[in-house]
Amino acid sequence: MELTTLNDVANAMVADGKGILAADESTGTIGKRFDQIDLESTVENRNAYRNLLFSANDIENYISGVIMYDETFRQSSLDGNVLYPQYLSDKGIIPGIKVDMGAHNLSGTEGEKITEGLDGLNQRLNEYRKLGARFAKWRAVIVISEENPSGYAIATNAHALARYASLCQSNDIVPIVEPEILMDGTHDIDDSFVVTEEVLHSVFFELYSQGVHFEEMVLKPNMVLSGYECSSQASVDEVANATIECFMRTVPAAVPGIAFLSGGQSDQHATAHLNRMNQLLENNKPWKLSFSYGRALQQSAIKAWGGSEQNIVNAQGALLHRAKLNSLATTGDYSEDME
């Protein structure tokens, strides 16, 4: 398919049966993943692991795009020495880049965060586009507690997301807009609903105010869940219904798709929740409902790999299994017995 316009790219990112692989872990985060398998986080090991993911046979049947970290974006495949943006494009996978500089303490608040990276972003986006990036990602972090989130934290993060998205579109790059409400805490699903609704209203107000074209973006939000330490955990049906209701109220139909983050859910829960949402909406979808998972796609693969070249085939099999199940969830055709 010829991806000429930003709308073409955005629609391809959420194509039926496909989702986005988030392989954009920072050096620190991938180091924690490697700690699980007692593997040193070196440049060579990080490249070997990303190569394992990207070179899996037929991964393009389930994965529309890959979000990369700057280091990965500039690395090459181990077979053929092809830069990863070109390597992925050759497989029919859209290359993307994480451009934020991480969440840092927001001055004047207790424990709230603001994402940094706007300084020099226009120049960085210009370079990434020349290197082959067709989309980018920026993550904002919102915390739920008895006092938080404050209106101040929501507004400043929404403004930064919109500024980033506007700069992306002016550089011919589709922005993934990721306002993540963390589900750490004892809050229940009703609290999650209220905060998610407020955050999304604020984000889309800022996007509109700053001239961002909704048709040329993809939303990457949290699902509406119970806090992970809540004594009463919502069922799959409750999560699916609450998430759909919240997004029907807040996300314009002009947005091509919603690619949910997994946000610490188990592999199976992330798949089951997405599947049930697609079943409930059936043919009445204002937008495509897909996935942009990191850990929920990779966890079984990294454990199967264990840092050993002998385990690459098994690790790729684990990745493909999870990718296929989530592909089925985008059309409501997943069932638990497939696990």
The token pair at 220 is 């990457």
Amino acid at 127: E
Cβ 201 vs Cβ 242: under 8 Å: no
What DSSP character marks residue 5?
S
Report which of 193, 237, 190, 223 is spatially closest to residue 289, judged by C-alpha positions: 223
State the sign of the Cα–Cα–Cα–Cα dihedral 248, 253, 259, 263.
Answer: negative
Cβ 74 vs Cβ 28: under 8 Å: no
Burial of 1 (0-12, 13-18, 19+ CB in 10 A): exposed
Amino acid at 142: I
The token pair at 281 is 């909406």
Catalytic residues: 178, 220
Burial of 305 (0-12, 13-18, 19+ CB in 10 A): buried
The token pair at 24 is 């954009």
Rounded CA-CA distance 260/181 in Å is: 12
Cis peptide before 149 (omega within 30 of 0): yes
Rounded CA-CA distance 110/69 in Å is: 29
Q: 37-48: buried (b, 16+ CB within 10 Å) or exposed (e) per residue? A: eebebeeeebbb
Element (H, E) at 254: none
